Amino acid sequence: MSRSAVNRCMLAVAGLVLLVGGVLLLAGGFDLYGRIGLGMPSWWPLGTPGRPVVSTASRTRWTDRAWWWPTVIGVLVLLVAGVLWWFFAQLRRSGPSTVDLPVPQGSGVALRLRRRALAEAVETETLALPEVARARVQLTGDRRGALLRAVVRLRASGAPDELVERFHTGPLANARTSLGLPDLPVDLRIRGAAPRRKSAPEPPRVL
Amino acid sequence: MTAESPDAAPRPSRGRRPRAPRTAGAALIAVVVLVVGGGLLYDVIAVRTGHPARRWRAELAHQLAARHLDDIRVRIGAGGAVLFGLWFCWLAFVPGLRRWLPLRRPGTVIDRAGVAALIAARARELPGVDAVAVRVRRSGTRVTVSGAADPAGVQRELRAAIARVPLAGPHQLDVRVRRSSVPER
């Protein structure tokens, strides 16, 4: 499961818990069940406006059972451990620093390429394309989950269709050949030139 | 991550939008759960090992038992919970990254400000154009040109300019030419 999917699941679970809890509290507080003539069973604690939010009786209902405190502590431990796992998953680097390159069978050689080196090579080639003002390239993931991420700033006189074609036939094709990954997925983001055009360079500051 | 898994990438996914990773929202929830859960865990274990409960937990239990459902604070709190719940669900299910428009090549996007800069730069080069205002929305672009330019010519040139941006989805171009006898500014 990708990081985005985990984050979105967390948001969905928290949102649904808050939404359902808030709606149930509001329905009890404004006596919704009484107004629409829906008789809630008497065991439902949030049925009428006069009920407390969490009565002492419901809070201490199971405190004398043997399973109650181990369950509470276990659930809290799981919750805290899950959140700590999430934090460390954010800090973890997104893969090893090198990528294995394919070598001929039986040569007995292991060939590794630093991801940073490949990213810099692609960056240099991208910067050499016409009308490109800036480029930032990253290679993430291991060999199976490799992804090339590029953010390219295009000058206002450039053409995005030409840039996309040139990037695919030039830097990206070379990276795919170098890695031996013909289907290396790419995440290319094209940005425009900075919107403000400075009419003249700033004069040097003299102290 | 906006990445598609490698085996899903070759699928011809025209107009597939990138999805925001939602790190900030998840971090907010993580911090709240960590503080509340950790504090509660600490106090429950302290009580189980013979220490008295902390003031905040006794006070919280007392307030929850004393306040009724029609109490104004309970209603405000419940309303806030509903609003936060709706917001989190919105964040969870909506793709986000509205500033990026997908291009025809899978995995390629361009930002709306970039499209606006390209169109504005092209429009400024046209003869008889004094001022240009470009607004790029997700569904279309509105260009307002003021000057003595020929509307049909401006429209034709800008249509050619936006055709050079290989957008994945349908995109409308709306060009308006305003006559300005006095040049603006």
Cross-chain CB nearest to A145 (options B6, B37, B115) = B6
- B185 interfaces chain A, CB cutoff of 8 Å: no
The full 3-state SS of chain A, as one line of letters, equals CCHHHHHHHHHHHHHHHHHHHHHHHHHHHCCHHHHCCCCCCCCCCCCCCCCECCCHHHHCCCCCCCCHHHHHHHHHHHHHHHHHHHHHHHHCCCCCCEEEECCCCCCCCCEEEEHHHHHHHHHHHHHCCCCEEEEEEEEECCCCCCEEEEEEEECCCCCHHHHHHHHHHHHHHHHHHHHCCCCCCEEEEEECCCCCCCCCCCCCCCC
Contact residues, chain B, for A6 at CB < 8 Å: 26
pLDDT of residue B45: 92
- Is B6's pLDDT higher than 80? no
Asked if B82's CB is within 8 angstroms of A18's CB, the reply is yes
Tell if the CB–CB gap between A26 and B79 is shorter than 8 Å.
yes
User: What pLDDT, in 10s, does the model give residues B121-170?
Assistant: 999 989 888 899 999 999 999 999 998 888 899 999 999 999 999 998 88
* B window 94-153, beta carbon within 8 A of A: 100, 103, 105, 107-111, 113-118, 120-121
Give the fold, CATH level 3, of B101-178.
Answer: Alpha-Beta Plaits (3.30.70)
Smallest CA–CA distance, residue B175 to chain A, in Å, is 19
Q: Give the one of A19, A48, A145 whose C-beta lies nearest to B89's C-beta.
A: A19
Residue ranges covered by each domain of chain B = 23-93, 101-178
B38 to chain A, minimum CA–CA distance in Å? Answer: 6
Q: Which of A23, A56, A187 sits opposite B65 (nearest CB)?
A: A56
CB-nearest partner of B64 from A17, A29, A54: A54
Q: Find, among B163, B159, B157, the residue nearest to B126 by Cα.
A: B157
CATH number of this structure's domain A110-191: 3.30.300.30
Looking at residues B9-36, what average pLDDT do you find?
78
Residue contact A2–B1, C-beta within 8 A: yes
Mutate to test the interface with A, among B31, B69, B91 (most CBs of A within 10 A): B69
Each of the 207 residues of chain A gets a pLDDT tens digit; together they read 678 899 999 999 999 999 999 999 999 888 888 888 887 788 888 888 888 888 888 888 888 889 999 999 999 999 999 999 998 888 776 677 888 888 877 778 888 889 899 999 999 999 999 999 999 999 988 777 888 999 999 998 889 999 999 999 999 999 999 888 899 999 999 998 765 555 556 666 666
